[in-house]
Each structure stands twice: as structure tokens, then as C-alpha cells.
Amino acid sequence: MQNSQPEALEESAKSLASVIGSISGLIAGENFPNSDRAALKRMDPKKEPPLSFYRFAFRHLPGHWQAQRKAWRAILNGMALMSPPIHRPDRPLGKVLAEEHYSEARLERLLAAEDETRRTLILRAVRFLAAKKQPVNWTDLAGLLLITDADKREGLHRRIAGDYYKNLKDKEQ
């Protein structure tokens, strides 16, 4: 049973990466209605989402999206905010944040935050990156919002922090 656990984790990550690649391509695509993209950008976490959110969610998100509705709202909101350059699998979140001089204190608060605070801080980081037109591996951001298992979440935190500090170290040399 222990041998199948790492395989299950890897398969889960591949599945999330596939979903993220697909939905980021749709939102950034030239055939995606500008009115829907604008509505997703304007979503307020304290208000009901627009119909464009539900239309997109029921058509394109995994069948179990409703169990993590707030996380998926933040993901779609963030992707719309970053559009058109959204998702680059070759640009890990930690590395991009370091390259763009995102402060260590902000990263620490982001990784330590839970629930609504985490969603808020992630959207602030997304706005920071969007202002600099820096796409990022959205699988990292989605994982921060969707992963509930403590060990998996800690592994993601270690990877993001590692990418951040490795990049800072490179800049110091």
C-alpha cells in the first residue's frame, strides 16, 4: 500500500496540471468572451459570483469543483487577472517571485496563511505578478488553494520556498 501512495500523489499532481493547463488556455484564448473574462476579474469573494463563473465552472472544471468552490473562484479570478500571460509550467512560483523581488515577509505570510486569508494573499501575489506581466506555473498557485492534506501542503511549501531561495542565492553571486 505504501508503494502506491507516491504514485497516487504523482497522478493527482499530473491531473491538476492538466486541468490548470486546460482552463488557463481557455481563459487566455482569443475566443474567450471579453465580457466573461472581465466578470471573472471583478469577482468579489464576499458576493455571489457572476453567472459567467458558473457557466465556466460547470463546463470546464473537474466534477468535484463544488466541494472547493471558494478555492476555484480564487483560481479563476486570479487567472483572469493575469490574462493573457497566465500559465507557464516552466516558471515555478517561488522562482518568479524571487526574480520579481517579492518580499520574503510577504511569502512567509502567504505560506503560513489559511483559508480566506490565504485566498486573499494569493490574489495579492497574483496582482503583483500581473502588474509585471509575469506568467507563472499556476499548478503551484492552485495547489496552495486546493491541497488540504498537511504533508502534501508542506511539500508544496518546501518546493516554493526552495525555488525562491535558490533564485535569491543565484542573484547574490
Q: Give the pLDDT of residue 168.
A: 87
Q: What is the pLDDT of residues 116-146, one digit of tens each?
A: 999 999 999 999 999 999 999 999 999 999 9
58: alpha, beta or left, given left = phi > 0 and alpha = psi -120 to 50?
Answer: alpha
Handedness of CA 139, 143, 149, 154 (dihedral sign): positive
Q: Which tops the pLDDT comparison, 12 or 29?
A: 29
Instruction: Name the grid cell of 120.
Output: 486573499
CA torsion 128→134→92→37, rounded to 10°?
80
Q: Which residues of 154-173 are buried (b: 16+ CB within 10 A; e: fewer)?
A: eebbeebeebbeebbeeeee
Mean pLDDT, residues 104-112:
97
Q: What is the pLDDT of residues 77-104, one digit of tens each?
A: 999 999 988 999 999 999 999 999 999 9
How many whole angstroms separate alpha carbon 126 and alpha carbon 123? 5
Going by pLDDT thresholds of 50, 70 and 90, the confidence category of residue 8 is very low
Instruction: Name the grid cell of 77.
Output: 479570478
CA atoms within 13 A on the CB side of 30: 0
Residue in this structure with the C-alpha cell 457572476, named with its chain if needed = 50
Cis preceding-peptide flag for 50 (omega within 30 of 0): no
Residue in this structure with the C-alpha cell 553571486, named with its chain if needed = 173
Domain region containing 93: 4-172
Q: What is the pLDDT of residues 38-84, one digit of tens each?
A: 999 999 988 999 999 999 999 999 999 999 999 999 999 999 999 98
Domain count, the chain: 1
Mean pLDDT rounded to a whole number for the chain? 91
Residue in this structure with the C-alpha cell 494569493, named with its chain if needed = 122
Domain CATH code at residue 11: 1.10.520.40
How many whole angstroms separate alpha carbon 41 and alpha carbon 3? 42
- The helix (run of H) or strand (run of E) holding residue 7 is helix 4-28
Single pTM value for the model: 0.89
Q: Give the pLDDT of residue 13.
A: 62
Q: Give the pLDDT of residue 1.
A: 40
Q: What is the pLDDT of residues 141-160, one digit of tens each?
A: 999 999 999 999 999 999 99
Listed residue (21, 56, 22, 19) closest to 37, CA to CA: 56
How many whole angstroms separate alpha carbon 19 and alpha carbon 16? 5
Q: Is the pLDDT of residue 2 over 50?
A: no
Q: Give the pLDDT of residue 169.
A: 63
